[in-house]
């Protein structure tokens, strides 16, 4: 169990640290390039919170799929790993597309239903 946890942490913790340090650099940097290209707003705390939540979501998906496949995705990659990664990405993109397609219908139904 310690080896599995160490393997995950050795990948995810450096990524999270990089995101936090990049956020600090953008916030503290007063370079005119950041202002000119509109990148100064990238230093907002709201953006950092959203990026960290997205990272936690991605980590949850990776660990869940890895647990369901017995470690084939990440802990002990096999020839099926690319297929598994593609299937997960396809499922996520499809879910996102379906949610965006159904959203106007849900808004329409909510407006018409008296609550």
Tens digits of residue pLDDT in 45-67: 777 788 888 888 888 888 887 78
Stretch 105-109: mean pLDDT: 86
pLDDT at 47: 74
Dist. CA 1–CA 8, nearest whole Å: 11
Which residues contact residue 63 at a Cβ distance below 8 angstroms, ignoring those fewer than 6 apart? Answer: 8
pLDDT at 94: 92
| Maximal C-alpha separation, the chain | 55
| pLDDT (tens digit per residue) in 15-47 | 888 888 877 777 776 666 666 665 566 556 777
What's the CA angle centered on 58, arms 79 and 86, to 5 degrees? 30
pLDDT at 41: 62
Q: Taking all residues of the chain, what is their mean pLDDT, rounded to a whole number?
A: 78
More confident of the two residues 102 and 68: 102
38 Rama class: left (phi>0) / alpha (psi -120 to 50) / beta: left
Q: How far is CA 75 from CA 9, 12, 87, in A?
A: 12, 13, 18
């Amino acid at each position: 169990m310690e080896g599995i946890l160490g393997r995950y942490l050795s990948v995810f913790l450096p990524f999270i640290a990089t995101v936090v340090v990049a956020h600090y650099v953008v916030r503290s940097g007063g370079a005119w390039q950041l202002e000119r290209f509109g990148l100064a707003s990238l230093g907002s705390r709201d953006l950092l919170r959203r990026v960290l939540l997205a990272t936690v979501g991605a980590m949850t998906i990776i660990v869940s799929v890895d647990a369901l496949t017995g470690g084939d995705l990440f802990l002990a990659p096999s020839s099926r790993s690319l297929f598994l990664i593609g299937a997960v990405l396809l499922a996520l993109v499809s879910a996102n597309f379906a949610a965006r397609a159904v959203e106007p219908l849900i808004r329409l139904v909510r407006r018409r239903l008296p609550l």
